[in-house]
C-alpha cells in the first residue's frame, strides 16, 4: 500500500455484493459495492471473508521470488482436496528463513471478487483475508479473537488463522495445543473464554477499526499476485528488472576496464568474479534463462529486456507502459532514490519516492522531463529526519 496515500478499506460480504467501508480521512458506511464513495487517488484495500481463504505455512527453498512462486503450488499440493489448477496461490511474508505465510483460494472466488470490483469501478491495491487484519499474537500460546455477531475471527501465531461460528469458538480454542491466553481485539465483545484460558483486552473499546489501517499499511499477505496483480505491482516488477539490468551493464563495463588496468593473473580472477556477479543478477532477474555465455551477460540481458517489452505490448503513446519506459531508467540509475510505490491513474504514472534529500528528487524530476519531453510534476514532498519523501506525477494532467 502507498504510504503517503489516503487509505480506504472495503470489507466484502460473503456474497460479494454488499460491503462496509472505512476511510482514513474520516467516515464509514455500508451498502452495495457499486455505491461505495471511493475517493480519487486513495489506496484501496479490500478485505475478503476468511472462510474462502486457506492460510498455510509453506516451506520453500531459495530466495528468488519468481522461483518461490513457481514452487508454492507443489509445496502445498498434499494439503488440498482438488487439483492445483483449480486454485490461486499467494505468497505472503517470510516467517523465518525458508518458511512463508501462504494463501490458497479457489480460482472461482478470485474471479468473482475481482469481477465484482471491476464492475463497481474499484481498483484495489490490496486483497487480503479479513482475519489477517487481526493483530498477530505476541507468542505461540496466545490467541487474538474478534467477535462479530455469530461469527468469530481467530488468529493464533503468524500462520494460523480461522473464521468459525460463535457456537464453535469455545471447542475450537480448547483443541489448540499449548494455548493459555486469549486477547479480545474489541473489548465490547460479550464473551467469556473457556476455563483455563486467561482473558485479556487488546485494545480499548471501539478502537479496532483504527487499527485496521496499520494492518493494511504493511500487509502480511496480498492475494493480488500472478495474473491478478495490479498495474502498480507490474510497474514495480519492471523497475526492479531495470535496476538489475543496470547492474549487469555496469559489471560488463567493469570487465572491460579491469582488463586494461591490472596484470594478467589479477585480470583472470577479477574477470571471473565480475562475470559470476553478472550471471547471478541475470538469473535472479530472469530465472528461466538457459545457458549463460561468459562475457555475453550484457547482450543476453538486453535481449531479455527487449523480449519483455514486446510481450507487454506497444510502448508508444501516453499509456502506462510508455510512461514506465520514460521514467524507469532514470529512477533505476539515480543514486540514493528508492521507489516506494507506483500506480497508474487518469493517464498519469504516480511514483512515491524516498531519497536522501529533496534536491535529489528535483534532479530526478528534471532528468525525466528533459530526457523525454513528458511533463513531470511534483505532487507532494516532505522532509524527514533521515531524508525526503515525495510523489511525482509523470504525464497526464495534474489535478
CATH of the domain at 58: 3.30.420.380
The domain total for the chain is 4
Q: What ranges make up the beta strands (E) of 80-204?
A: 87-96, 99-106, 126-129, 142-148, 151-156, 161-165, 181-184, 198-201
| CA nearest to 72, candidates 54, 87, 90 | 90
99/217 same-domain check: yes
Final residue before a domain boundary, out of 266, 298, 313 = 313
Beta carbons within 8 Å of 139's beta carbon, 6+ residues apart = 181
Q: How many CA atoms lie within 13 A of 370 on its CB side?
A: 6
167/49 same-domain check: no
307/236 same-domain check: yes
Please state, in angstroms and rounded to a whole number, the distance separating the CA atoms of residues 173 and 179: 8
Please state, in angstroms and rounded to a whole number, the distance separating the CA atoms of residues 337 and 356: 7
Final residue before a domain boundary, out of 313, 340, 364 = 313
The predicted structure's pLDDT at residue 173: 87
- Residue 84 in contact with residue 73, Cβ under 8 Å? yes
The predicted structure's pLDDT at residue 267: 44
Q: Across the strands, what pairs with 12?
A: 19
Full pLDDT tens readout for the chain, 399 residues: 666 678 999 999 887 788 999 998 888 899 999 899 999 888 899 999 999 999 989 999 887 787 888 899 999 998 888 899 999 999 999 988 999 999 999 999 999 999 999 899 898 989 999 999 888 887 778 888 888 888 889 988 777 888 988 888 888 888 888 888 888 776 556 777 887 787 776 665 456 666 778 788 888 899 998 888 765 555 555 555 555 555 554 555 555 544 444 444 444 555 455 566 666 665 655 555 666 666 666 566 656 655 555 444 444 445 666 787 778 778 878 888 888 777 777 778 888 889 999 999 999 999 998 887 888 999 888 888 888 999 898 887 544
- What are the backbone dihedrals phi and psi of residue 367, each rounded to the nearest 5 degrees, phi first? -65, -40
Inter-CA distances, 173 with 20, 63, 143, 195, 349, Å: 28, 35, 8, 11, 48
Final residue before a domain boundary, out of 287, 313, 339 = 313
Strands 142-148, 53-59: parallel, antiparallel or unpaired by DSSP? unpaired
Please state, in angstroms and rounded to a whole number, the distance separating the CA atoms of residues 12 and 20: 7
pTM of the model: 0.64
CATH of the domain at 362: 3.30.1360.100
256/223 same-domain check: no
CATH of the domain at 166: 3.30.420.370
Please state, in angstroms and rounded to a whole number, the distance separating the CA atoms of residues 265 and 287: 32
Length of the chain: 399
Please state, in angstroms and rounded to a whole number, the distance separating the CA atoms of residues 326 and 337: 16
128/42 same-domain check: yes
- Residue 351 in contact with residue 323, Cβ under 8 Å? no
284/243 same-domain check: yes
97/183 same-domain check: no
49/99 same-domain check: yes
235/335 same-domain check: no
Long-range CB pairs of 152-161 (<8 Å, 24+ gap) are 153/50, 153/185, 155/131, 158/95, 158/101, 158/220, 159/55, 159/56, 159/57, 159/95, 159/101, 160/55, 161/50, 161/55, 161/129, 161/131, 161/132, 161/134
Please state, in angstroms and rounded to a whole number, the distance separating the CA atoms of residues 68 and 59: 10
Residues 368-390 as b/e (b if ≥16 CB within 10 A, e otherwise) read bbeebebebbebebeeeeebbbb
The predicted structure's pLDDT at residue 221: 92
76/159 same-domain check: no
The grid cell for 96 is 523465518
91/102 same-domain check: yes
Question: What is the extent of the structural domain holding 160?
Answer: 139-201
Please state, in angstroms and rounded to a whole number, the distance separating the CA atoms of residues 98 and 112: 32
Give the distance from CA 88 to its chain's centroid: 16
339/305 same-domain check: no
Q: How far apart are the first and last CA of the chain?
A: 21
Amino acid at each position: 500500500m502507498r504510504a503517503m496515500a489516503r487509505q480506504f478499506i472495503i470489507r466484502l460480504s460473503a456474497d460479494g455484493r454488499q460491503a462496509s467501508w472505512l476511510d482514513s480521512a474520516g467516515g464509514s458506511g455500508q451498502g452495495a459495492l457499486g455505491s461505495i464513495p471511493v475517493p480519487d487517488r486513495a489506496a484501496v484495500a479490500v478485505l475478503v471473508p476468511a472462510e474462502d481463504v486457506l492460510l498455510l505455512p509453506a516451506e520453500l527453498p531459495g530466495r528468488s521470488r519468481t522461483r518461490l512462486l513457481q514452487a508454492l503450488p507443489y509445496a502445498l499440493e498434499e494439503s488440498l482436496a482438488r487439483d492445483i489448477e483449480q486454485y490461486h496461490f499467494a505468497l505472503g511474508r517470510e516467517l523465518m528463513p525458508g518458511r512463508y505465510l501462504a494463501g490458497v483460494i479457489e480460482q472461482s472466488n478470485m474471479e468473482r471478487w475481482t469481477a465484482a470490483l471491476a464492475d463497481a469501478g474499484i481498483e484495489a491495491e490490496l486483497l487480503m483475508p479479513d482475519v489477517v487484519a487481526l493483530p498477530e499474537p505476541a507468542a505461540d500460546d496466545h490467541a487474538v479473537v474478534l467477535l462479530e455477531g455469530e461469527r468469530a475471527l481467530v488468529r493464533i501465531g503468524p500462520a494460523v488463522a480461522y473464521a468459525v461460528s460463535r457456537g464453535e469458538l469455545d471447542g475450537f480454542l480448547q483443541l489448540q495445543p499449548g494455548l493459555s491466553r486469549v486477547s479480545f481485539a474489541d473489548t465490547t465483545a460479550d464473551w467469556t473464554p473457556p476455563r483455563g484460558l486467561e482473558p485479556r483486552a487488546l485494545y480499548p473499546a471501539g478502537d479496532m477499526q483504527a487499527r485496521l489501517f496499520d494492518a493494511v499499511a504493511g500487509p502480511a499477505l496480498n492475494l493480488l499476485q500472478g495474473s491478478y496483480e495490479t498495474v502498480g505491482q507490474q510497474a514495480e516488477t519492471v523497475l526492479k528488472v531495470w535496476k538489475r539490468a543496470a547492474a549487469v551493464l555496469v559489471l560488463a563495463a567493469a570487465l572491460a576496464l579491469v582488463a586494461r588496468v591490472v596484470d594478467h593473473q589479477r585480470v583472470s580472477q577479477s574477470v571471473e568474479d565480475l562475470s559470476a556477479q553478472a550471471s547471478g543478477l541475470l538469473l535472479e532477474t530472469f530465472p528461466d534463462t538457459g545457458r549463460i555465455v561468459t562475457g555475453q551477460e550484457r547482450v543476453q540481458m538486453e535481449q531479455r529486456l527487449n523480449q519483455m517489452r514486446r510481450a507487454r505490448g506497444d510502448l508508444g503513446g501516453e499509456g502506462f507502459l510508455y510512461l514506465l519506459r520514460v521514467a524507469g531508467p532514470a529512477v533505476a540509475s539515480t543514486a540514493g532514490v528508492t521507489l516506494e510505490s507506483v500506480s497508474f491513474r487518469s493517464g498519469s504514472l504516480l511514483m512515491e519516492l524516498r531519497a536522501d534529500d529533496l534536491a535529489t528528487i528535483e534532479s530526478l524530476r528534471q532528468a525525466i522531463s528533459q530526457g523525454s519531453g513528458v511533463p513531470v510534476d511534483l505532487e507532494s514532498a516532505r522532509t524527514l529526519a533521515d531524508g525526503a519523501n515525495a510523489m511525482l506525477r509523470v504525464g497526464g494532467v495534474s489535478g
